[in-house]
Amino acid sequence: MKTLLLGYGDIADRVAQRLSAIKSQITGVCRTPGNKPVRPGVDLIAADLNSEQELYQLFKQKWDNVVITLTPKKGAEDSYHQGYVVPCRQLQQVLSQQTHQPFIIYVSSTGVYAQRNGEWIDENSVTEPTSDSGKALLQAESLIDALPGRTSILRCSGIYGQGRDFLLRQLSQGNVQLRDSWTNRIHQDDVAGFIVHLLTKVRQPQPVYLVNDDEPVKQYEVYQWLAQQLGIEPPETINKDVDPRGSKRCLNNALKNSDYQLQYSNFREGYAPVIKQWQR
């Protein structure tokens, strides 16, 4: 199985390690491969994913799978458009000229949803983002969905885990505003694990998956629990205004129906090892 990882950040690196363990042939693509960890069985090459010509060179090879994990383009005024929409448009141009079509997994975000009243949402819920980032994410999704081969779009909720200690830093610095809004999370190992599950275990992947754990939770409850673990006093006031990113509860039935077993079913399980490492 030959897998191409377009964008080689933390999630792609975790996917690569899992695939190399089962003797898959993996190639990762990013701008600066010299800055990335060296993994056995993983080839890293430099390329600009915003360049149609460089993508065309990559697809002179036949890939069984392509996993796309993009990030906003640093320094660009329209960073989400440049980081997500442009590479997907270039990829569409390249693959429209190919006879062989790989299976594409595209990692997106629940930022494409704008529900604000604690609604339960799933893969069929209305996507009407109000933010520029959400609009760019949804536009990129539409380009992936229009590709000629099989595609699966993974709408991930807030990804956390090793090295993603934003909440802990905010708490320790006293820079926290508690909000009475519903939030959703997924551990980085479960994002990577689910990608590998789709590549190796699922015969007919769905076109869209919500990727989050089993327990939507109020934002203030997360901070209060984390503060308790750290021995910090959280703010007493809870802001009743809805978080700018909305307030929604994400269902993960499609993920569960694929027979994927979450490694961390809620934020408490997932944050426990993160806190231990952070306190060292």
Whether 68 and 11 have beta carbons less than 8 Å apart is answered as: no
Residues near 14 by beta carbon (within 8 Å), at least 6 away in sequence:
188, 189, 191, 192
pLDDT, position 180 = 96
117 alpha carbon, distance to own chain's centre? 24
Q: What is the DSSP letter of 86?
A: H
* Tens digit of pLDDT at every position of the chain (280 positions): 999 999 999 999 999 999 999 888 999 999 999 999 999 999 999 999 999 999 999 999 999 999 999 999 887 779 999 999 999 999 999 999 999 999 999 999 999 999 999 999 999 999 999 999 999 999 999 999 999 999 999 999 999 999 998 899 999 999 999 999 999 999 999 999 999 999 999 999 999 999 999 999 999 999 999 999 999 999 999 999 888 888 999 999 999 999 999 999 999 999 999 999 888 7
152 phi and psi angles, rounded to 5 deg? -130, 125
CB-side neighbour CA atoms (13 Å) of 75: 0
pLDDT, position 141 = 98
Sorted by where each starts, the structural domains of the chain and their CATH numbers stand as 2-278 (3.40.50.720)
pLDDT, position 121 = 97
Residues near 197 by beta carbon (within 8 Å), at least 6 away in sequence:
258, 259, 260
